[in-house]
Amino acid sequence: MVKISQLVYTRPDKEELLSKLAQYKSRFQSAATVEQFYAVHDEYKAFSEQVSTNIRLAFIRFTQDTRNEFYSAEQDYLDEISPEINAANAEIAKCYLCSPFRAELEKRFPKVMFVNLQMAVDASDPRIIPEQIEENKLTTAYSKLMSGITIDFNGERLPMSGISKYFTVSDRELRKGAYTAWGQAIEDHKRELDEIYDNLVKVRTSMGRKLGYDGYSPLGYLRMQRNCYTKEDIAKFRANVLKYIVPLASKIRSKVGRDLDLGQQYFYDDSVYTREEPKPIGTPQQMFASASKMYNQMSEETGKLFDTMVESECFDVMSRAGKEGGGYCEGLPAYKLPFIFSNWNGSAGDVDVLTHEFGHALEFYKSFFIESEFLSSVSMETAEVHSMSMEFLAYPWIDLFFGDKTEEYKFTHIGGAVTFIPYGTIVDCFQQTCYDHPDMTPAQRNELYNSLEKQFLPHMTTEGLPAFQDGRRWQRQAHIFQSPFYYIDYCLAQFTALQFLALSRKDYKATFNKYLKFLGFGGTKTFTELIDACGLLSPFEEESFRLIVASCEEILGL
């Protein structure tokens, strides 16, 4: 049995990699028959899996302890070389796009593969390699800055991710104190954060302009693989969020305010939905035993994967100093293993992240067996449907984790899913505006964020909280720094996941099979094609908002 902790990392040699990729390019170009082309394709896929696994392993170990000097240096090195490696892979993508056997290739591989390859080629250009190197350095600087911050609170010294365990406690003053300390940590580092983001906007704008665009946004859409919807579609989605979801979120928060006698709701009330916080039962070991029972009863496939991951040490879930915040699922294709990283802190969010990331793990695992490296990854909003829907599909077993607090957990979880959509929409609109107007000052960006919060979150205020009252909440959102335009994906996915929730209440088995069908396509269809193929409602149509709102109001008793 493979153990993640025992895997050997070997630094990829840039010159060797570039030489090998140049050889693959030459062999693709000189293939005399489509059979010869396919033979090179199979070799290239296996080679790519090995390289990718090695790079991802270094990333995993860096995030496990950002203070580790060896893996910190390795991450810096990989940041340095990755733009050239990506450019070389883009040259290979052109071999598929320009192949004399293109017609035959299109019979074997789906159309979306060629669409995505063209987008990758358009987004990768040797002219912007210097900017990509600088971008990588800046995003790593952000990661190191945030993971290195510790907060002294309530007799504990906590990392940024660790203090969030206080955000859902029933003691309102304790919550306020935690948010105040959290905000003060951001306030104390505002100059560095402003400088990093200001430089990121500048360097990304430079990339876009070098490639002939007015700014970064068109390039950002290419990099995010927006292959089936446009900036205008997202604007329409935002408008419908404001029209339908914001009033629903305000209705949910009004009910919470009445039930908890909150009066004016502040930012530190925003994660609380019930009088007593629903917390998971038992130790981490007991929670893993409950998860094993759940996934083995859910299906043979989910049970086998979960237990294999436990045996292979594919989980790192406990928060600790030096560990990067947040959570993710990463794939190690050479070993056909997903890896789940998170920061448990004793809150209900521990269960959320376990089920969420396992949805990603299941997709990773299934996609390992798709025949093309170019089809093994899915677009981001599709990936988030996999994870967010799994959170809801865990409901028949959720009492294993919450016992007599199960109903409180469900109200909190569904209410949080609904109220998240306006927040995610703010993040997307904020990013879009920042890149549409790259000369904005840091103060203007904060003013923009404040105005968006007032529009999309009218039920709460940040008044009196350091950093947050000045519009700096966005500086804690790593995606804004590290993955521009990757946030509306969460909103589209959450919207779609709520459909799976509504369907599962009527026929769980049929809905689970629909979910597996959605997931099983991997990267062979676009997001909108998947929605259509699985009989779901499009998030870009107003009708879907009316139906989702009606369903949520019924479930939540509003």
Over the stretch 286-326, which tens digit does the pLDDT of each residue have? 999 999 999 999 999 999 999 999 999 999 999 888 888 88
Residue 318 has phi, psi (to 5 degrees) of: -90, 135
pTM (two decimals) = 0.85
> For position 292, what pLDDT does the model report?
97
pLDDT in tens, 241-252: 999 999 999 999
- Give CA separation, 112 vs 334, 418, 464, 524, in Å: 24, 31, 49, 6
> For position 376, what pLDDT does the model report?
55
- Give CA separation, 520 vs 114, 169, 365, 394, 514, in Å: 20, 39, 10, 19, 10
> For position 325, what pLDDT does the model report?
82
- Give CA separation, 169 vs 41, 163, 252, 271, 459, in Å: 54, 11, 19, 9, 20
pLDDT in tens, 524-540: 899 999 999 999 999 99
> For position 345, what pLDDT does the model report?
84
> For position 90, what pLDDT does the model report?
87
> For position 524, what pLDDT does the model report?
87
Residue 328 has phi, psi (to 5 degrees) of: -160, 165
Task: Give percent of the chain above pLDDT 70.
Answer: 99
The residue assigned the tokens 């840039």 is 14
Question: How far apart (Å, rounded) are the C-alpha atoms in residues 530 and 535?
Answer: 8
Q: Domain locations in the chain?
A: 4-113
Residues of the chain predicted below pLDDT 70: 371-377
> For position 62, what pLDDT does the model report?
94
